[in-house]
């Protein structure tokens, strides 16, 4: 998946150190995404691979910005796809979340041929809630996950 400034690519073992420094060692990022999970640098590759996320990087510089992905889910008791993004703190507020989110929604609609897209968010992650709402999603329900409580947002295409 590619946008004007960003691309998603497969994770590789060499990404672990950078991802640890940018995301997994930053308590502000972790509290809004992985909850209480603390992941050692040695376990990042397997952890991220197991979840199914990809590396989000700058198209031009190839600098890692974070993680993102479109994953199957059934939070609303149907076979849906959830999109998500986790950005390193230094990239917050630059429009990257909106940019990749828009591309992910288009992928769910036009490549996966679904009638709706789902996003989940930590209840106190106000910046992500604002971004998700700006992308057109509406609050649907609150769920409990192994990572804590999450708000479920929905965008119907029809």
| Secondary structure of 17-34 in HEC code, one letter for each residue | HHHHHHHHCCHHHHHHHC
CA distance 102 to 105: 5
Q: Are 65 and 88 in contact, with CB atoms under 8 Å apart?
A: yes
Per-residue pLDDT tens for 4-34? 999 999 999 999 999 999 999 998 888 888 7
Q: Which residues, including other chains, have CB under 8 Å from residue 111's CB and lie 6 or more apart?
A: none
- pTM across the whole model: 0.93
Per-residue pLDDT tens for 97-144? 999 999 999 999 999 999 999 999 999 999 999 999 999 999 999 999
CA distance 154 to 45: 30
CA distance 133 to 125: 12
The domains found in the chain, sorted by start residue, are: 6-156 (3.40.630.30)
């Amino acid at each position: 998946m590619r946008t004007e400034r960003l691309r998603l690519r497969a994770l590789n073992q060499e990404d672990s150190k950078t991802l640890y420094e940018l995301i997994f060692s930053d308590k502000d990022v972790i509290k809004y995404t992985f909850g209480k999970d603390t992941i050692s640098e040695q376990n990042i590759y397997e952890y991220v691979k197991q979840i199914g996320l990809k590396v989000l990087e700058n198209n031009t510089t190839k600098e890692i910005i974070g993680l993102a992905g479109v994953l199957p889910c059934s939070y609303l008791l149907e076979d849906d796809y959830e999109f998500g993004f986790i950005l390193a703190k230094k990239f917050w507020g630059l429009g990257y979340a909106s940019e990749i989110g828009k591309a992910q929604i288009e992928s769910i609609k036009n490549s996966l041929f679904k009638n709706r897209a789902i996003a989940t968010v930590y209840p106190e992650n106000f910046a992500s809630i604002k971004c998700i709402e700006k992308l057109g999603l509406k609050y649907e329900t609150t769920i409990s996950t192994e990572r804590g409580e999450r708000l479920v947002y929905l965008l119907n295409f029809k």
